Chains A and B, each alone.
Chain A
């Protein structure tokens, strides 16, 4: 990509701007441009944007309190009073889904945060130092990978005790291997570059080299993996809650709502349909956006 579009739209500024910033557009601007050009990632971005706005303004959007019950109004069909109907306890499903966004975002951010921090730490140490550090860390990661992830999460929650916090920890732990592997491979390629050699040559210590020079150059795969992981983390946490191992009642968590509404599947399908759709859209949103990010940040895929 050249600077041409810019200079055409701003002809009068082009001269001074060109004089000041005669270098090519930064990686970030370039990537953003790519990102917004792809329709699918734009859809993903919109879904995530709506999710975040909903979470922030949940009390304003919701029509009822998410935990307020009125058993006499149980299993009401969607109506103008209850937009998405009510569940077994007469709680407003629309409001519960709206408040559920907060929990989903919380799960996504915290669980992925845990996997990212630990995964990046392990992966970069393994990749940078190699040898026995690499062996030990990567074999540990292999052990984690050997378990089917949801099974490992169930085992972890069984040990820690069922609660939303522990579910987030469990989902965070099962996400570590992916991060560790991706970061390790990125570090492996970056550490062979000449600027790293240069940094070492002028006497930079390992810690400084790793933090200041190696990791910043591995940031792209980290961001992509983090975005993609948020969707999976929300899905896994919903799975745990569905099994009664995550969010405890009366938390309006989507997976728990599915679990509660399952008994009424034949008579009141709306009780599980809407939380199911909510999970579906959020997960697909993060996946589309993550895919778009990957394409945008990968120089090889650019024209």
Chain B
């Protein structure tokens, strides 16, 4: 009898445990289900809300989340895409070119020696937090950018070093409430172009003080959109700036959604849950063009994708002959099939759309025998093992990074080079912590339409580091001298000469295997009007409109 009691108790206990397990399980799946439907209904909700009160919401789909919403600290396009809506630089690019137009500054002039730049600022601008914009704020921002080495774009563009944080900018002074004066240590030809870059957007000093380290999560600028919310790896929400001094936005809200997979993102576009997407798979272009609800828009080409050789690493990569041999051993024409018509083979680091492009350079071409000869000459006739770091998700300049890496892996087998393909996620790939790479895929979209922005940032010894700048660690004094000379020369014809020469040396030293220049396709719903993609890869959305 007693034993039976135990049995009953045990059974009851077991039943309770099972019941609870079932419950928690249910609750678990139930809640995820709920949150999903919440998400879905959230999106629909915004659609419905839109229908009700006429609120226009643009949902923008992209492959990676922003790293930080402080443009001065990052170099990745996804961060800058968002901050370009929130912050205004002193001058901005015209809608469809890299010519500059007034933004926070209305007028500017430069002294005859090219050293002193004076900007007259608008007097009617307020930051999103309500504080007024004055010349002191500009000074504050520039002082902040020269306060530490965290501000990578400042360092790239103005050549600051650990000893000299200011680089070529000697000082920035407020000479009036709405006038600011820059004094340079040497003339800098691309100076105005550079100031128009989104990383040099002016942030509210009050917000910087208030949020300190967390400013990148709470960006406050003067731009056409105000930051609302950031749910990492999910979405960033911005709302219209009702007090914008320029062209007031036509839409009320922008939501940047992160959908890592190109195919999945395209399916969402077809289903109508996003309005506009970057990173269309080239294979999907035809499908999008045939879809009566969709349009395909091509961004003007101003980029390059490349495979950098780690020239500072001991071993084969430090030998010029090996690097040239690899250039010869890869069939670039064939790689273009992986770009499905959006890519043109690259032979220079500069895109051909930019002035200063050296078209006289003849690409290495595909010649396995010659490659073998060079390898033998370098003492590597029997080949060697190296790695190739690539990244998982597509980028505008490289639609299929994993597959492209495999293609190169297979091609290099013909010259006895064994390639191990390492697939990194984007953060790891660009963080620069891992310096073990022999070869690395990367690309660059021009920021300001000046050759300096490609050659100096990507191949000058000043910027040799493993994160995003000169990842080839290419340190040529000759190239450095030419690029510096080009920076300080104000005459464009002279500058072209310098860049032509620099490209010749770079071609000979082969720190890269340049792959392609692309016209990145963007797919949008037909409701999206007045959308003009900018060659620099980002554009403010204030002119864009939605017709629903």
Contacts and interface: CB of A to CB of B under 8 A. Distances in A.
A239 to B, nearest CB: 16
A75 B281 CA distance: 14
Contact of B406 (A75, A250, A262, A266): A250
Nearest to A268: B283
Contacts of B338: 71, 74, 88-89
Contact of A263 (B262, B405, B406, B423): B262
Interface residues of B, number: 27
Interface in A31-76: 67-69, 71-72, 74-75
A162 B262 CA distance: 23
B50 interface: no
Contacts, number: 66
A260 interface: yes
A232 to B, nearest CB: 19
B420 interface: yes
Contacts of B409: 249-250
Q: Which of B261, B338, B410 has the most CB atoms of chain A within a 10 A radius of its CB?
A: B410
Nearest to A243: B392
Interface in A92-136: none
B421 interface: yes
A168 to B, nearest CB: 18
A89 B261 CA distance: 19
B416 to A, nearest CB: 15
B407 A260 contact: no
Main secondary structure of the interface of A (DSSP, over half): loop
A267 B403 CA distance: 16
A54 B338 CA distance: 32
Contact of B335 (A71, A244, A250, A262): A71
Per DSSP, chain B at the interface is helix
A266 B284 contact: yes
B334 interface: yes
A265 B262 CA distance: 11
Given A266-B284, A267-B283, A249 B337 contact: no
B287 A267 contact: yes
Nearest to B284: A266
Contacts of A155: none
Q: Which of A67, A68, A89 has the most CB of B within 10 A?
A: A89
A50 B130 CA distance: 73
B315 interface: no
Interface residues of A, number: 22
Contact of A266 (B263, B394, B403, B407): B263
Nearest to B340: A74
A18 interface: no
Contacts of B420: 248
A264 interface: yes
Given A74-B337, A250-B410, A244 B403 contact: no
B400 A263 contact: yes
Contacts of A88: 338, 400, 403
Contact of A248 (B335, B407, B421): B421
B402 interface: yes
Interface in B303-329: none
Contacts of A249: 402, 405-406, 409, 421
A249 B409 CA distance: 9
Contacts of A67: 410
Nearest to A244: B423
Interface in A256-295: 260, 262-268
Contacts of B406: 69, 89, 249-250, 260
B410 A263 contact: no
Contacts of B402: 244, 249, 260
A284 to B, nearest CB: 24
Interface string B382-402: 000000000010100000101
Nearest to A74: B337
A151 to B, nearest CB: 14
Interface in B347-402: 392, 394, 400, 402
Interface of B: 261-263, 266, 281, 283-284, 286-287, 334-335, 337-338, 392, 394, 400, 402-403, 405-407, 409-410, 420-423
Q: Which 4 A-B pairs have the closest CB atoms?
A: A249-B406, A71-B337, A71-B334, A267-B283
28 contacts: A67-B410, A68-B410, A71-B335, A71-B407, A72-B337, A74-B337, A88-B338, A89-B407, A89-B410, A162-B423, A244-B423, A248-B420, A248-B422, A248-B423, A249-B405, A249-B409, A249-B421, A260-B403, A260-B406, A263-B263, A263-B394, A263-B400, A264-B263, A264-B281, A265-B263, A266-B266, A266-B283, A267-B286
Given A89-B338, A266-B263, 8 more contacts: A69-B406, A72-B334, A72-B337, A89-B406, A248-B421, A260-B403, A266-B284, A267-B284
